[in-house]
């Protein structure tokens, strides 16, 4: 596969239409320089200290935002047996985790420099080796610190490809992509039709690829998640079945500030005479694995997502 770093760091001058440099306004520039200033300040702290600061700061603000009420509604709907006090505790843990994750995403280089911060058992090591050898399809969820889950693959030399969601502010997007560029040698693809084609090329070439698969999908493809029909992407299962690639569900569970334990499992991809049934079964298995992890670590999942229609 050809080097696709141009996909990782697109120049504003080369963006099409609504992504052009001309669309950058004063607010965008202020947000950009605000982020750069925050990064500079955080990098004066130790990695642990910066993560603790991010968690504490976000915990002071987030419970007063509208997303907090949305997350509480989702939590009450998906885990109806919880008391109000149990939900309050889980949501506080969630915001604390997200604050740490945001700061850690700005310091991936420091985490990468200390690989012992990510614990991996023998099973995870085997999955990593198989991903490198067989072109594994990695499906992740917004659990713990999903941003750092690529680091073991990058350290092993993978030309990994993944999909990201565009930001409104192109200056912020370019800078955040630059912080990730070293870990996605195959490229980061903006979500959309072009990303699907890029993943198809990567799967055909035998390379590893990653998909965040716990978000509500824009299609009407439904599988069960927490007992309810949820729009879910069938793309990983489709690619795995078509090209004979294994699917591995991967999560990075937080054990402390900037410290994690990887959990991973292979997802069975049936290969019968009925392609549609096989894809449905594999997609359902992905969501079932995600659900089991969310139930184990509910305070580390992003409940504010709109998971259902």
What does the pLDDT look like over 156-192, one tens digit per residue?
A: 999 999 998 889 999 999 999 999 999 999 999 998 8
| Domain locations in the chain as residue ranges | 7-300
What secondary structure letter does DSSP report for 301?
A: B
CA-to-CA dists, residue 230 to 7, 170, 283, angstroms: 31, 31, 11
* Amino acid 19: pLDDT: 52
Q: Give the distance between the most distant pair of CA atoms in the chain.
A: 59
Query: Bridge partners of 253?
Result: 261
* Amino acid 5: pLDDT: 34
Task: Determine how many CB atoms are found less than 10 A away from the CB of residue 193.
Answer: 7
**φ, ψ (nearest 5 deg) of residue 307:** -85, -25
DSSP-based three-state secondary structure for 127 = helix
> 53-78 b/e with 16+ CB inside 10 Å = b?
bbbeebbeebbeeeebeebbebbeeb
**pTM higher than 0.75:** yes
**φ, ψ (nearest 5 deg) of residue 127:** -65, -40
* Amino acid 219: pLDDT: 80
Ranges in the chain, pLDDT < 70: 1-22
Rounded to whole angstroms, how far apart are CA atoms 264 and 255?
A: 16
* Amino acid 196: pLDDT: 86
Planar angle of CA 212, 101, 140, nearest 5 degrees: 20
Q: How many CA atoms lie within 13 A of 97 on its CB side?
A: 25
What secondary structure letter does DSSP report for 143?
A: E
Rounded to whole angstroms, how far apart are CA atoms 265 and 244?
A: 17
Closest Cα to residue 178, out of 1, 2, 5? Answer: 5
User: 267 Cβ partners below 8 Å, 6+ apart?
Assistant: 139, 246, 247, 248, 249, 282, 285, 286, 289
Contact between residue 118 and residue 152 where contact means Cβ atoms under 8 Å apart: yes
């Amino acid at each position: 596969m050809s080097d696709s770093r141009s996909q990782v760091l697109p120049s504003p001058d080369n963006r099409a239409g609504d992504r052009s440099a001309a669309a950058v306004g004063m607010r965008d520039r202020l947000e950009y320089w605000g982020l750069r200033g925050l990064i500079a300040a955080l990098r004066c702290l130790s990695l642990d200290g910066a993560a603790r600061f991010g968690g504490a700061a976000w915990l002071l603000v987030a419970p007063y935002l509208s997303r907090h009420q949305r997350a509480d509604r989702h939590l009450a709907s998906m885990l109806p047996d919880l008391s109000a006090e149990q939900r309050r505790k889980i949501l506080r843990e969630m915001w604390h985790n997200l604050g740490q994750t945001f700061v850690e995403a700005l310091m991936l280089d420091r985490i990468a420099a200390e690989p012992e911060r990510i614990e991996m058992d023998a099973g995870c090591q085997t999955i990593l080796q198989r991903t490198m050898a067989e072109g594994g399809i990695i499906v992740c969820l917004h659990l713990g610190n999903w941003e750092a889950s690529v680091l073991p693959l990058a350290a092993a030399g993978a030309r990994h490809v993944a999909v990201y969601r565009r930001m409104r502010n192109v200056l912020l997007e370019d800078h955040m992509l630059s912080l990730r560029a070293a870990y996605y040698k195959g490229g980061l693809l903006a979500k959309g039709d072009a990303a699907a084609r890029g993943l198809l090329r990567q799967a055909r070439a035998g390379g590893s690829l990653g998909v965040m698969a716990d978000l509500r999908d824009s299609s009407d493809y439904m599988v069960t998640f927490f007992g309810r029909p949820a729009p879910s992407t069938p793309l990983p299962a489709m690619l795995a079945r078509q090209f004979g690639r294994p699917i591995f569900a991967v999560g990075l569970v937080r054990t402390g500030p900037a410290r994690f334990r990887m959990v991973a499992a292979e997802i069975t991809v049936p290969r019968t005479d009925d392609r549609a049934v096989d894809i449905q079964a594999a997609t359902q298995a992905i969501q079932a694995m995600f659900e089991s992890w969310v139930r184990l670590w509910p305070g580390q999942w992003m409940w504010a997502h709109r998971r259902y229609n």
